[in-house]
Structure 1
Amino acid sequence: MNGPTEAPGRPAGDQLQDTARRTALALPGTDHGHPFTEHLDVYKVAGKVFLIVTDDPDEQIITVKCTPEHARVLVHGHPSITPGRYLDKRHWISLGPGPGITERLITDAVEDSYDLVVERLPKHDRPGTR
């Protein structure tokens, strides 16, 4: 199949990143910027990072927070999911386009990352419930 997706329901890199960005921006209290470098689009809640989108056409990945147990399952089950590229490799994973990487998986990964960060915030710093 020619075009931006490798197969129906499996996003190409730019679509993977767009899905992650849309998902993150829909979550309460999210802000984003480029605090580290212009090539890393960083999404935070209450000042804590939960998503990094790599703005490099040769490396279209997203990096999210994940429990170590879930990270092991995802890395083992998907060749395009690796331990986190920029952060603690036990608690972060990077997702690139590839077999089994669906919009649903991306949305779930971003929302789970957000939830992990929010649940560690003091109650008074937590955004409204979703």
Structure 2
Amino acid sequence: MNRDELLAQCLAKPGAWEDQPWEGDVVAKVGPKIFAFVGTDTVGVKCAPTREAADEWLHRYPADAAAMAYIGRSGWNSLSIGGAIPDEEILEAIEESYRWVVSKLPKRDRPKPADQTS
């Protein structure tokens, strides 16, 4: 999987949109909140609700997972694309990050289920 494919997967989620809040940095948001930081060869996602739980990624993939600077204490990790972490696990991590972020949004900012209109 490459960066463009990964970004496309992020943007395919209900209510997801691309933003560049800092020059040269691409993020995927749902409502006003980021659920994925999309780099050239990494993706930053919320891997768990706590740092201790997110550390499982670091133990399983020590060369390809790292706690993110500044927000790592909140369970955010940077995962390498194209390394030891299988693409399926990266996609699952993105899905989980999306779900956690959506669950914390006020109801007015949550995307409507795909089968609802208006």
Q: TM-score range by the shorter chain?
A: 0.7 to 0.9
Q: TM-score, normalised by structure 2?
A: 0.82
Q: 1:64 and 2:45 equivalent?
A: yes
In structure 2, the CA distance between the partners of 1:44 and 1:107, relative to structure 1 (3 Å rule), is: same
The answer for the alignment partner of 2:17 in structure 1 is 31
The structure-2 alpha-carbon separation of the partners of 1:106 and 1:66, relative to structure 1 and needing over 3 Å to count, comes to same
What TM-score do you get using the length of structure 1 for normalisation? 0.75
> What is the letter of the counterpart of residue 30 of structure 1?
A
Partner of 2:37: 52
* Rounded Cα–Cα distance in structure 2 between residues aligned with 1:47 and 1:32: 11
**Which of the pair is proportionally richer in strand?**
2
Q: After the TM superposition, which residues 96-107 of structure 1 pair with which residues of structure 2 at under 5 Å, given as runs?
A: 96=80, 97-99=82-84, 101-107=85-91
State the identity %.
35
Residue of structure 2 equivalent to 1:21: 7
Unaligned stretches of 5+ residues in structure 2: none
Give the total of aligned pairs. Answer: 109
Q: Distance in 2 between matches of 1:54 and 1:19?
A: 12
Q: Secondary structure at the match of 1:112?
A: helix
